[in-house]
Amino acid sequence: MQVIGNSINLDNLLMNVASDAITGLPPKEHDYRTLSPFRFMLVFAVLYTATVLLPEQVLSPLNRLFASGAALLLEAWGMHASLQGDTLIANGFHARVIDECTPLFMLIVFVSFLAATPARLERKGKAMLLATLFFSCMTLLRIAFLVFVGAQFPAQFHIIHTYLAQSLMILAVILAAVVWLRWGQGEITGLPILSFISRFTLWSSFLFLAWLPVNRWYMQLIDYLLSALFSLFDQQLIIPKVHLVYFQTFNLVTFGSLLLATRLHSEKHDRRYIVAGFALLVSGHLLIRIGNIMATAFNTPWGLPFANSISIAGQYLAPFLLWWIMFKNSNYYRATGGQTA
């Protein structure tokens, strides 16, 4: 029993130190009841739209910066890596660093979350700066590791990339949000941070491996439904199955892992939110596929931008926002004191 108690105290101590360093806020300065999903969505939409409308040359220096940083990290690991613009080359393996590879969209999610929380602007600015540093370090490690895997084990690159690009990055955003929303003695309404990380890692690994052989079948089912829909308008579609891994579908894994790690799966009230969340994610997959079909089969100019926008929102925004809303409205949240003063 003493060992368990020390472990919990260590969790609390680490969380206290981290939250004090990032926010400097006493626990009672945050009030969950004033968190606004509407403000979150509004700020996210504005920032995301502004990012999409930026010319490519504006974001290119950011891509090159992280590509060069990852190259330096690979050199420190003993692997020679050369750089051609925003493309990393190691042992004949080429990897281009694009906007989605940088911490840009993680920051958009986190800044939107800050905008939806009640705190002084000075504290939010401090949190944003430190979160930028945290996300940047995570991103550099992820890019360098993926290039290392691609150079040494190319057959496993796409699988590992899919996992790290979604689960790890969403976990990083949630960790930053949990620290920002420090509650009580190092936990967010009964959710010890180290225990949550462990549960999420285990569940996401298991669900990811389970979903790998299923995701292709799932996309075939979606394509079958869309083919039937377009046939009603006398349009016969032939949709090739060219990918082993459809990365857009793995937000189901991330969302499911968050629910299981947070234990939001026992009450009837909670199950309604869970079903609604998964339904929204599946709807996003349908919209992505419709955008791709409109671009490739009908040469519609808006098809690919539409599909890419839904894909990025589904990868970064949807799992986090759905988890947050469900956690706030769950019986688990209320049972652990989330709505008490």
Q: Identify which of 138, 188, 186, 124 has the alpha carbon closest to the alpha carbon of residue 324.
A: 188
Strand partners, 83: 88
CA distance 282 to 142: 27
Concatenated DSSP letters for 222-242? HHHHHHHHHHTTT--------
Instruction: Write the DSSP string, 71-123.
Output: HHHHHHTT---EEETTEEEETTEEEE--GGGSTHHHHHHHHHHHHTS---HHH
Half-sphere exposure of 206 (CA within 13 A, CB side): 11
Place of tokens 């979903």: 211
| Domain range annotation of the chain | 15-186, 189-341
Q: How far is CA 298 from CA 240, 291, 294, in A?
A: 15, 10, 5
Closest by alpha carbon to 36, among 120, 109, 114? 114
Please state the φ and ψ torsions of residue 87, each to the nearest 5 degrees.
Answer: -110, 125
User: Rounded distance, CA 39 to CA 320, Å?
Assistant: 15
**How far is residue 274's CA from residue 219's CA, in Å, rounded to a whole number?**
21
What's the pTM?
Answer: 0.77
DSSP state of 299: -
Q: Which tokens is 202 given?
A: 């285990």
Contact 104, 62 (CB under 8 A): yes
Task: Return the SS3 of 287.
Answer: helix
How would you write the pLDDT of the chain (341 residues) with one tens digit per residue? 334 444 444 445 444 444 444 444 444 444 444 567 788 889 998 999 898 888 888 889 999 999 999 999 999 988 989 999 899 999 889 999 998 889 999 999 999 988 888 878 888 888 899 999 999 999 999 999 999 999 999 988 888 888 887 788 888 888 888 777 764 334 444 456 777 888 888 999 999 999 998 998 999 999 999 988 888 888 888 777 667 788 899 999 999 998 888 865 555 556 777 888 999 999 999 999 999 989 988 888 999 989 998 998 888 888 888 888 877 766 545 544 443 32
Q: What region, left, alpha or beta, does residue 191 occupy, with left being phi > 0 and alpha being psi -120 to 50 degrees?
A: beta
Q: Is 102:62 a contact under the CB 8 Å cutoff?
A: yes
CA angle 32, 34, 35 (to 5 degrees): 70
**CB-side neighbour CA atoms (13 Å) of 30:** 26
**CA Rg value for the chain:** 21
**Nearest Cα residue to 169 out of 260, 248, 246, 101:** 101
